[in-house]
Structure 1
Amino acid sequence: MNKLYEKTNAASYYITQGSVNSPKGFRAGGFHCGIKRKRPDLAWLYSEVPANAAAVYTTNQFQAAPITVTKESISIDKQLQGMIINSGNANAYTGEKGLEQAYLMRKWYAEKVGTKEHLVGVSSTGVIGEPLPIEKIRNGIANISVEQEDIINFEKAILTTDTFTKHVCVKVEINGTEITIAGAAKGSGMIHPNMATMLSFITTDADIEQESLQYALSNIINDTFNMITVDGDTSTNDMVVAMANGMAENEQLSVNNPYWDQFYEAFTYVCQSLAKYIAKDGEGATKLVEVKVTGAKTKEDAKTLSKTVIGSNLVKTAIFGADANWGRIINAIGYSGVKVDPMSISIALGSITVVHNGVPVDFSEEEATQYMKESDPVQIFVALQDGNDEAIAWGCDLTYDYVKINASYRT
């Protein structure tokens, strides 16, 4: 394990190999049930004991049926013991039939693993507006065995147009007890706050009060998953679900616990890592882009500016072409809606300053082009002189392949 972070008088957290089945008591698997032609398309997540649960959902007003079901499940006891997930079909905008089928997925999986229906969440991703092939899913659920884990196919089964699986795992020692926090995610296109088009599942064996878990997730989301954008579209199915089963047997954590900061920092790292993986894997993307705004009057101003720059198609295409056209960054700042003094702005591409205090700076075009071609992430720094707040947003370049992928998404 590589030590990543250490805080004075606090435990260190470490990056380690693992995924959602790494925390004690969690298991996961996936396989092909026939929704897609060949690739894995049905995934399951299971905890040996009911886990305190928290979730955040898409802000799209057309929320898919699985979101309705998962919201209801968590609302009853604030716990989950399992998730059943399919890809290839979003079960979104499918009316009462789609809702009925989402409930059936919950019922069948609960029966299969021997738990109460309301302790199961449901998640789907894929094409919107098409009927769910429910019999294929029913047959798939019937073949699940929680004793036969397959984390590789779990991570593959939740993907759509993603080009790689996304997972992260950290360990942190809190008051003498080691706890594990891990996550897996999917997301590639239709990515835009709030939230991105994505599914993310986070597990931990920490004993943590449910209200504090929800508080942590809701707040961390704002600086991680809600700070990524690929194409400006917000999906109907996005959700982030966190489950904490307490099997590490630590002293229960809450916002008032003296060790809360250690958990929060490690949890933040997991969410931020997954968010950056999603941004990096934007459809057709060749590189991750990071925009950091400093010196803003308010946190909200910094977030708005960073997300506006990262979301600009002109900025994204310039990065794809390795063109240091900083005028496109200025343009995005100008239409962001945030009032800034033009003479207080400085901009840099990595370590290459292109604007200082509102004045263009001579720089080597060759050096800038080389930086944009070779660096991953490409970093854009925007410094203001209006205050002390800052924010970071993540995205990707915009390429020919993005159009190609989305022009034939259903075929």
Structure 2
Amino acid sequence: MQAIEGSKISILTDGDITSPSGFSAGGVHCGLKRKRLDLGYIKSDIPAAAAAVYTTNLFQAAPLLVTQESIAADGKLSAIIVNSGNANACTGEQGMKDAYEMRRLFAESEGLSETLVAVASTGVIGEELAIDKIRTGIPSLMNPEHGTAERFEKAILTTDTGTKKAAVTVEINGKAITIGGAAKGSGMIHPNMATMLAFITTDAAVEPEDLQLALKDATNSTFNMITVDGDTSTNDMVLLMANGSAGNTALSREHKDWAHFVQGLGLICESLAKQIARDGEGATKLVSVNVKGAETVEGARALAKTVISSNLVKTAVYGSDPNWGRIVCAVGYSSVKVEPNSLKVYIGPHLVFEKGLPASFSEEEAKDYLSQELIEITVDCCQGSAEATAWGCDLTYDYVRINASYRT
């Protein structure tokens, strides 16, 4: 456990989606993918308050529609059933039937009301879901041998190179509440969510309306601030369950410890978002774009997202080329009003542009900096006090190779 100085939050270095009390998870191989785990679940011992945010893509996949219906019933969930290998998107009426069938099958296996079960899918778009394989796999999900958070983390992956998880504890009313998370995402990643699924659990008691507000705010500053390739998926979803098992007084915006809970949730979302960005398909580097001195937070976010989304910036980072012109160019077409003669741009510690002109810096030292795995680009507008950070990765030859053969 690692305490964060000056706060009531501690990071659980080995924590996961089941670290909060009252939650279990697991995964099996049902045959949607070759030899790899492809069907997973998260379950709460008691119905939990639920909140979710979804992709802005107009072609929302069937599982998202079914999940929205489940949460709308009474704002609670007891379980989530997730498959990888098939997105069940753009599959029409049959896709809806299959998503409902996934929900029904898992609900019946656990003795739950169907509307207490959420459904998520990820994988190839436009192919009908092999529901018979899921029907066969669900009964084995609850085998004790299959019930680990690690198996769930693996079951939701597609082109990811590794699992993604995070957990923290937060002191609320003198009690330790826990927040855990798991995610998947590697390609088709762009702000406004992206082929990513993120699941968060907490044993805190939280008022439903405030839970939704906290998740939306956390998503806007984390998951919506990452990009890999500029594509927004049909299946993106972040889902949060709060079951109240910690026994704290229900949290709301008026609670004295509300800010601590929000900070803890934000840390989980930021950690998962950065893990997704670093695991971009073919990526070799994690890139952070820090914008400061902007007039508004909205403007700072737009600037950061524009720079991190630039393919020219991303390829320059891959090649360890301190080509500051690409950064300045992206700032210029971001639609955010910036005074060119006030702007400063840094690559790591190196000031490379100021007052509308190139700054004096060592190309070799900047190139050496860009050869590292963790890269920071800072854009200082020198016009206000607002700031924001976006995360992404470099764009490599391997990205093309992976996506040229995604279905084969």
Aligned length: 407
Aligned residue for 2:171, secondary structure, equals strand
Question: In structure 1, what is the equivalent of residue 74 of structure 2?
Answer: 77
State the match for 2:95 in structure 1. Answer: 98
What TM-score comes out, normalization by structure 1 length? 0.98
Aligned counterpart for 1:23 among listed residues 4, 20, 24: 20
Q: Distance between the aligned counterparts of 1:339 and 1:190, measured in 2? A: 29
1:395 to 392, 397, 401: 392
Q: Contact between 1:183 and 1:202, CA under 8 Å: does it hold in 2? A: yes
Q: Conserved in 2, the CA contact under 8 Å of 1:296 and 1:386?
A: yes
- Deviation of the 1:174 alpha carbon: 1.2
- Paired residue for 2:151? 153
1:17 to partner: Cα distance = 1.4
Q: 2:131 aligns with which of 131, 134, 138?
A: 134
Q: Deviations over 1:211-244 (max 9, x none)?
A: 1110100111100000000000000000000000
Q: Among residues 162, 165, 170, which one is paired with 2:163 in the alignment? A: 165
Partner of 1:216 in structure 2? 214
Displacement, 1:175? 1.5
TM superposition shift of 1:173 = 1.6
Instruction: Report the alpha carbon displacement of residue 147 of structure 1 after superposing the two structures with TM.
Output: 4.7
The equivalent of 1:109 in structure 2 is 106
Q: Which amino acid aligns with 1:331?
A: C
Matching of residues 8-407 of structure 1 within 5 Å: 11-145=8-142, 147-148=144-145, 149-374=147-372, 376-407=373-404
Q: Which whole-Å deviations, capped at 9, do the CAs of 1:306-332 have from their partners, x for residues lacking one?
A: 100000000000000000000000111
CA-to-partner distance for each residue in 1:16-54, whole Å, 9 max, x for gaps?
A: 311111110100000110000111000011000000000
Give the root-mean-square deviation of aligned CA atoms: 1.0
Q: Secondary structure at the match of 2:192?
A: coil
Q: Does 1:4 align with 2:1?
A: no
Cα distance, 1:121 vs structure 2: 0.1
Task: Work out whether residues 90 and 128 of structure 1, in 8 Å CA contact, stay in contact via their aligned partners in 2.
Answer: yes
- State how far apart, in whole Å, the 1-side matches of 2:384 and 2:138 are: 54
Distance between the aligned counterparts of 2:382 and 2:172, measured in 1? Answer: 39
How big is each residue's C-alpha offset from its partner over 1:320-362, in whole Å with a ceiling of 9 and x where there is no partner? 0000000000111111111211101100111111012322111
- Which sits farther off after the overlay, 354-363 or 311-320? 354-363
TM-score of the superposition, structure 2-length normalised? 0.98
| CA distance, structure 2, for counterparts of residue 308 and residue 125 of structure 1 | 27
Which sections of structure 1, spanning at least 5 residues, go unmatched?
A: none
CA shift for structure 1 position 103: 0.2
Instruction: Write the deviation string for residues 344-386 of structure 1: whole angstroms up to 9, x where unpaired.
Output: 1100111111012322111111101110102x32000000122
Q: In the aligned structure 2, how far is the partner of 1:253 from the partner of 1:147?
A: 34
How far residue 260 of structure 1 moved from its aligned partner, in angstroms, is 0.5
Structure 2 SS opposite 1:71: helix
State the Cα distance separating 1:106 from its structure 2 match: 0.3
The answer to whether the 8 A contact 2:188-2:230 is kept is: yes
3-state SS of 2:63 partner? helix
1:193 shift after superposition:
1.4
- Using a 3 Å threshold, how does the CA distance of structure 1 residues 146 and 57 change in structure 2: closer, same or farther? farther
Residue 5 (structure 1) shift:
3.9
C-alpha distance in structure 2 between counterparts of 1:151 and 1:385, whole Å: 46
Matched-pair contact (CA < 8 Å) for 1:62–1:236: yes
* Structure 1 segments (4+ residues) deviating >4 Å: none
Query: What's the secondary structure of 1:249's corresponding residue?
Result: coil
Measure the CA separation in 1 of the matches of 2:288 and 2:257. Answer: 31
Distance in 2, Cα, partners of 1:391 & 1:146:
45
Counterpart amino acid of 1:39? R
2:2–2:10: 8 Å Cα contact kept in structure 1? no
User: How far did 1:14 drift?
Assistant: 3.1
Q: CA deviation at 1:249?
A: 0.5
1-structure distance, mates of 2:54, 2:83 = 17
